Structure 1
Amino acid sequence: MRYRHIFFDLDHTLWDFETNAKDTLHDLYHIHDLSKRGIEDFNGFFDRYSYHNERLWDRYTKGFIKQDELRWKRMWLTLLDYKLADEELSRNMAIQFLDKLPTKKAIFPYTFEILEYLKNKGYNLHLVTNGFEKVQHNKLQSSGLHAYFEAVITSEASNSLKPHKEIFDYAFQQTGAKESESVMIGDNLDADIQGGINAGMDTVFVNHLNIKAHIQPTYTVYHLKELENIL
């Protein structure tokens, strides 16, 4: 085998963050009766949340803001779009969101099948994620993915974030892997693919959304089953 160690991203690559986040926010929408507070269209509300979440995550991965600010301000800014300047509600929703989100179980098609395939071929499977330690481990337990991975490397544990080389150095230290025998698989060009390149690894871009790549990966797949053509 060309590779011995496979490092996966979790959110948006295997675990369907968009579907699970929407389901979680829908729960909170009803718990807090937001339709009676001027937010009549849930889909519009989720679109605004996604807009702010994406931009705050970008700032977080670049080191401009801390975890706590990311967690509650994505709620705060979303509510502000509806003229609800309620910090207490924002903070409560932020806590509830992270309590409920990891219990959701939606994963991308062929996730279990590809992990089983790779495991049976003798690869060592690991995760490298910018997600929060407790949240990511809970997601793995709830979805049934935990059994497939030997090591779960989070930004919290490594004190670094993809695409920085330090999180991958920490991953190599924890797993005993070498960059020459490893491959990074993920959906995010700036975090996963650039991060793998920074670490000296080959990379696989999981292009679920069929977007144009502005960073050149070693391989590109559009469905997880296509990994069988590479590995």
Structure 2
Amino acid sequence: MYKHLFFDLDHTLWDFDRNSSESIAEIYSTFRLAERGLSSSDAFAETFITINRQLWRDYDQDLIGHEYIREHRFPLVFNALGVDDTTCCADLNTEYLRLLPQKAHLTDSAREVLEHLHGRYRMHIITNGFAEIQAVKMAASDIAHFFEEVITTQSADAKKPNPRIFEYALQASGASVAESLMLGDNYEADILGAKAVGLDTVFYNPKGEVVADPPTYDIRHWRELIAIL
């Protein structure tokens, strides 16, 4: 039934939280942040992940831009942990952007499923992430060869859930709606965005989130996808 599979990258295939936690732990040590009043590496990582996730949600809703995320996430983390001196935060962000994309952890069984699907389907990426950083992530985790087209916000001049990015992806890949399937972890951006242009969807939903408008398929683990396809 399907010929083209369109995957989200962060949190869907590439384990953003694990890779981010490792990067944050290295930054905490390198910059000796305990001496700046951040007494716990774990609290620093957890607070960063929470704030960064919310900023990306705001970005998906067109409330803020990329530069806002880069400039404000570390100061917001410092402030949330009761540290007023944020003079090092620009350097922290630079180091984070250097470290993060070099991490290679994928979500559970993602590689196994990609290897199973490779050659059976034409596979592509649709991502709201920074183009240059996403390319490094895919190379570092050795998954770039699985995908034909990598559609970014910059290339489509739109971001999920805007229907234009999905329409652009279909055009760029030479795919039709009827033969295509969108797979992602973000219900609003990936699932509702894709449904708006008539695409069938797979909601990668390991936490079992209950949603009002169900996707075509709802899976908790990537191995479930093999039974569907």
User: TM-score range with shorter-chain normalisation?
Assistant: over 0.9
Once the two structures are TM-superposed, the CA of residue 91 in structure 1 deviates from its matched residue by 1.4
- Unaligned stretches of 5+ in structure 1? none
1:158 to 1:87, Cα distance in 2 relative to 1, 3 A: farther
Q: Give aligned pairs, total.
A: 229
**Is the 2:20–2:49 contact (alpha carbons within 8 Å) kept by the matching residues of 1?**
no
Equivalence for 1:221: 219
Is structure 2 residue 117 aligned with structure 1 residue 125? Answer: no
User: Following the alignment from structure 1 to structure 2, what is the Cα–Cα distance between the partners of residues 9 and 37?
Assistant: 37
Query: What is the correspondence of 1:1-231 to structure 2 with a 5 Å cutoff?
Result: 2-121=1-120, 123-231=121-229
Counterpart Cα distance in 2 of 1:161 and 1:130: 6
- Residue 39 of structure 1: how far off its partner (Å): 0.9
Q: Deviations over 1:78-99 (max 9, x none)?
A: 0112333344411111111111
SS in 2 for 1:120: coil
- CA offset digits 1:173-220 (Å, max 9, x no partner): 211111111000011101110111012100001112222223310001
In the aligned structure 1, how far is the partner of 2:69 from the partner of 2:21? 17
Query: How many angstroms does 1:74 deviate by?
Result: 1.0
Task: Please give the per-residue CA displacement for 1:133-165, whole angstroms capped at 9, x wherever unaligned.
Answer: 001000000000001000101112212111110
Contact 1:189 1:214 in 2 (8 A): no
1:43 is displaced (CA, Å) by: 1.4
- Counterpart-to-counterpart distance in 1, 2:212 and 2:39: 38
**Contact 1:189–1:215, Cα closer than 8 Å, also in 2:** no
Which whole-Å CA distance do the structure 1 matches of 2:126 and 2:85 have between them?
35
The amino acid that maps onto 1:157 is: S
Structure 1: which amino acid aligns with 2:224?
A: E
192-201 or 133-142, larger mean C-alpha shift: 192-201
Supply the distance in 1 between the matched residues of 2:93 and 2:119 (Cα, whole angstroms): 39
Contact 2:78 2:86 in 1 (8 A): no
Q: Provide the C-alpha distance between the structure 2 equivalents of 1:43 and 1:36, rounded to a whole number of angstroms.
A: 15
What's the offset of the Cα at 1:22?
0.3
CA distance in 1 between counterparts of 2:217 and 2:93 reads: 37
**Following the alignment from structure 2 to structure 1, what is the Cα–Cα distance between the partners of residues 35 and 213?**
45
| Structure 1 stretch displaced more, 14-23 or 30-39 | 30-39
* C-alpha separation in 1, matches of 2:88 and 2:167: 39
Structure 2: segments with no counterpart, 5+ residues: none
Amino acid at match of 1:97: Y
Runs of 4+ in 1 over 6 A off after TM superposition: none
